[in-house]
Amino acid sequence: MDLIKWPFLKQSWGMEVVRSEGPYLYTKEGQKILDAAGGAIVSNIGYGREEVAEAIKQATKNNSYVLPPFLTPERETLLDELREHWLPPHLTRIHLSSGGSEANESAVKLAIQYQASRGKPEKNIILTRTLSYHGTTLNMSGISGHAARKRGLESYVPKAPMIETPYPLRCPLGSFHPDAKDYYLDNLKEVIKKIGSENIAGLLMEPVNGSSGGAISPPEGYWEEAHKILIDNDILLIADEVMTGFGRVGDDFASNLYNLKPDILVAGKGMGGGYAAIGGTYSTDEIADSIMEAGYEVMFHTFAALPQSCAASSAVLKILREEKLCDRVNPLSEKIMDRLNSEVGQHPNVAEIRGKGLLIGIEVVKEKEGLICFDENEKITSQIMMKGLEDGVFLYPGGTGEFRDIICLGPAFTIGDEEIDLMVSAVKNSLNFIANKYS
């Protein structure tokens, strides 16, 4: 029997990384790989920063474990960092956990407890979106719009009523149709009407889709109007910014791009930059006070707010701030987008190059006319990724099973021209490889 060392299921792709530094991974075979995806769009400051290692070391010596509800200096520093420099002022309450899925679970629990605390226990449905990813717990697998990640679980996981994810390229009215915004707003209104706003606690949404859809932004004006509809219907807005938060999209949060004031905001990934397993659920005094007055509990995970994780996150966020790394995101994005548009924009297999800041998606199709996808069994994104690795670049595979062929780019904010060259030429080579193979 073939003994599989790692991971749990054998993959067609993979490598052994013995070390990582800046935006690069170093493999056992001696290859230097540019990580064009910052792992899973996590590594905002790059790998191996001494200051973060030192902060984790100090925290381990000072407070290796302290029960989450107790305050520690490491926790206090992070809370101050978040409140003083990052969070929108209305999000005063902070609940920490060990990653994005847990943070989303907390957000959904808070939304439902809040409605119950207002005497509305029947207002307990969470709307989600047809293309979305909110995590890998049973609940998040169930309510995410990500077919591939719940295969074999469909009979067990909960389901959520879904609104359509605004997807300008594939709008049913036609690609980039001028009425796309109204089409998707009508869909939101219809779903609310069908279910009844008296039964809906909140909408869980990614303001800009992560890798599930591949950096899809809605038509202009959609979020602003959608939020108004939610407010009019007494439905909470829960922004999942696990992938987009902390500078990734060229602003502190993607909600800011649309002037959204979410009732609950969720973060993970960039919050610890890969140095810590940490997620955050941020909410308002009104929600927290109401839950408290009702006498409900907000239970912690044992490893939530671990002093080491808090210290790592504070150090990462301080580096982002002091080195003004977020200011680099939009100029870098413009350079990458220009290069991609000029070098692969007209490629026969590229349907769209899109994104915000350093969250960029390239949607790959078999035929541009009609936006025909490759057969799923061809595993095009895996082939693209393997070709990228041959060229020394890790490209992140996106998609949800239905719209599966998406290359995501999400590098560290520290990259320069050399890395942009490497990234763009790897994308171009891998697309040419696919075009030659299937022409």
Ligand X SMILES: Cc1ncc(COP(=O)(O)O)c(C=O)c1O
Comparing CB distances to ligand X, the nearer of 268 and 399 is 268
**Residues 244 and 210 sit within 8 Å (Cβ to Cβ):** yes
Based on its alpha-carbon atoms, the radius of gyration of the chain, rounded to whole angstroms, reads 21
**Out of 240, 252, 352, 419, the residue judged to bind ligand X by CB under 6 A:** 240
State the minimum distance, in angstroms, from the CB of residue 254 to ligand X. Answer: 10
Comparing CB distances to ligand X, the nearer of 101 and 139 is 101
**Out of 207, 210, 245, 274, the residue judged to bind ligand X by CB under 6 A:** 210
Q: With binding defined as CB under 6 A, does residue 104 bind ligand X?
A: yes
**Cβ-based neighbours of 168, under 8 Å, separated by 6 or more:** 175, 176, 177, 180, 216, 217, 218, 219
Site string for ligand X, 118-137 (x = CB under 6 A): ---------------xxxx-
Q: With binding defined as CB under 6 A, does residue 105 bind ligand X?
A: no
The pair of structure tokens assigned to 110 is 């808070």
Residue nearest to ligand X (CB): 100
**Out of 100, 307, 357, 397, the residue judged to bind ligand X by CB under 6 A:** 100
Comparing CB distances to ligand X, the nearer of 42 and 365 is 42
State the minimum distance, in angstroms, from the CB of residue 102 to ligand X. Answer: 7
Angle subtended at Cα 272 by Cα 268 and Cα 278, rounded to the nearest 5 degrees: 55
Comparing CB distances to ligand X, the nearer of 243 and 424 is 243
**Out of 40, 138, 147, 337, the residue judged to bind ligand X by CB under 6 A:** 40
Q: With binding defined as CB under 6 A, does residue 406 bind ligand X?
A: no
State the minimum distance, in angstroms, from the CB of residue 151 to ligand X. Answer: 17
Q: With binding defined as CB under 6 A, does residue 206 bind ligand X?
A: yes
Q: Pairing mode, if any, of strands 236-240 and 200-205? A: parallel
Q: With binding defined as CB under 6 A, does residue 333 bind ligand X?
A: no
Q: How buried is residue 4: exposed, middle or buried, by Cβ count under 10 Å (0-12/13-18/19+)?
A: exposed
What does the alpha-carbon distance between residue 289 and residue 283 come to, in Å, rounded to a whole number? Answer: 11
Q: With binding defined as CB under 6 A, does residue 357 bind ligand X?
A: no
Question: Per-residue DSSP letters for 229-244?
Answer: HHHHTT-EEEEE-TTT
Helix (H, G, I), strand (E, B) or coil at 304: coil
**Out of 45, 82, 126, 242, the residue judged to bind ligand X by CB under 6 A:** 242
Q: With binding defined as CB under 6 A, does residue 410 bind ligand X?
A: no
State the minimum distance, in angstroms, from the CB of residue 99 to ligand X. Answer: 3
Q: With binding defined as CB under 6 A, does residue 268 bind ligand X?
A: yes
Q: With binding defined as CB under 6 A, does residue 304 bind ligand X?
A: no
Question: Which strand (E) or helix (H) includes residue 49?
Answer: none
Q: With binding defined as CB under 6 A, does residue 107 bind ligand X?
A: no
What does the alpha-carbon distance between residue 191 and residue 227 come to, in Å, rounded to a whole number? Answer: 14
State the minimum distance, in angstroms, from the CB of residue 348 to ligand X. Answer: 30
SS percent in the chain: helix, strand, coil, step 5:
40, 15, 45
State the minimum distance, in angstroms, from the CB of residue 290 to ligand X. Answer: 25
State the minimum distance, in angstroms, from the CB of residue 103 to ligand X. Answer: 8
Comparing CB distances to ligand X, the nearer of 374 and 396 is 396
Helix (H, G, I), strand (E, B) or coil at 402: coil
State the minimum distance, in angstroms, from the CB of residue 241 to ligand X. Answer: 7
Question: Scanning residues 141 to 160, which ones bind ligand X (CB under 6 A)?
Answer: none
The pair of structure tokens assigned to 51 is 């200051």
Q: With binding defined as CB under 6 A, does residue 356 bind ligand X?
A: no
Other Cβ atoms closer than 10 A to 120: 15
Question: Per-residue DSSP letters for 33-44?
Answer: EEETTHHHHT-S
**Residues 349 and 434 sit within 8 Å (Cβ to Cβ):** yes
**Residues 397 and 385 sit within 8 Å (Cβ to Cβ):** yes
The pair of structure tokens assigned to 101 is 């899925």
Give residues in contact with ligand X (CB under 6 A).
Answer: 40, 99-101, 104, 133-136, 206, 210, 240, 242-243, 268
